[in-house]
């Protein structure tokens, strides 16, 4: 089994927090994997091509509930230019940042490649816009951790290696 390591800080060279005034929650996980793929390709592998069925089911349940409260569903967030099933906010040679701003919270997800050390980082940051953002995130947080670790483990072994 591939090791997924929780980090204590956002990687120094990450652009994930650009434009965020305040971060109310963040997590960064790292895997060791040498790859020749771009950050965009890795994000597609992690979030689109090989998303576990149980995660798809949880997202379906989430979407079935949040529309009642006027929050954006996964379908409403999808645009042509996207990664991790969310719109691309910013990207460079080694990182792609996607995310969304909604009434209750704003979030960003980053896939960052550190080719020198053969690391791939997956970072999530969240800014609560109001009380409802905090309440929304309370039950989401434990599932978020399980989902991130699961998809990194699942995809660590299938990313193509540098040649």
Q: Report the pLDDT value the prediction gives residue 46, as an integer from 0 to 100.
A: 77
- The predicted-structure confidence for 82-102, as pLDDT tens digits, reads as follows 444 678 999 999 999 998 898
Low-confidence ranges of the chain (pLDDT < 50): 1, 76-84, 158-163
pTM over 0.85: no
Q: Are 51 and 58 in contact (CB under 8 A)?
A: no
Q: Of all helices (H) and strands (E), which one includes residue 141?
A: helix 131-156
Alpha-carbon span 86 to 97, nearest angstrom = 9
Q: Report the pLDDT value the prediction gives residue 82, as an integer from 0 to 100.
A: 44
Bridge pairing between strands 119-128 and 105-114: antiparallel
CATH for the stretch 5-156? 3.30.530
Domain spans of the chain, in order of start: 5-156
């Amino acid at each position: 089994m591939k090791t997924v390591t929780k980090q204590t800080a956002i990687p120094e060279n990450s652009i994930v927090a650009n434009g965020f005034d305040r971060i109310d929650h963040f997590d960064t996980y790292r895997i060791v994997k040498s790859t020749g793929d771009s950050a965009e390709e890795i994000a597609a592998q992690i979030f689109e091509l090989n998303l576990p069925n149980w995660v798809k089911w949880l997202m379906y349940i989430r979407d079935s509930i949040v529309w009642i409260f006027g929050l954006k569903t996964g379908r409403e967030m999808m645009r042509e230019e996207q990664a991790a099933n969310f719109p691309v906010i910013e990207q460079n040679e080694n990182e792609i940042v996607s995310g969304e701003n909604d009434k209750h919270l704003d979030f960003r997800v980053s896939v960052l490649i550190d080719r020198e050390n053969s690391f791939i980082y997956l970072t999530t940051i969240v800014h609560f816009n109001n009380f409802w953002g905090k309440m929304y995130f309370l039950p989401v947080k434990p599932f978020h951790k399980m989902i991130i670790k699961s998809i990194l483990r699942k995809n660590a072994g299938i990313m193509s290696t540098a040649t």
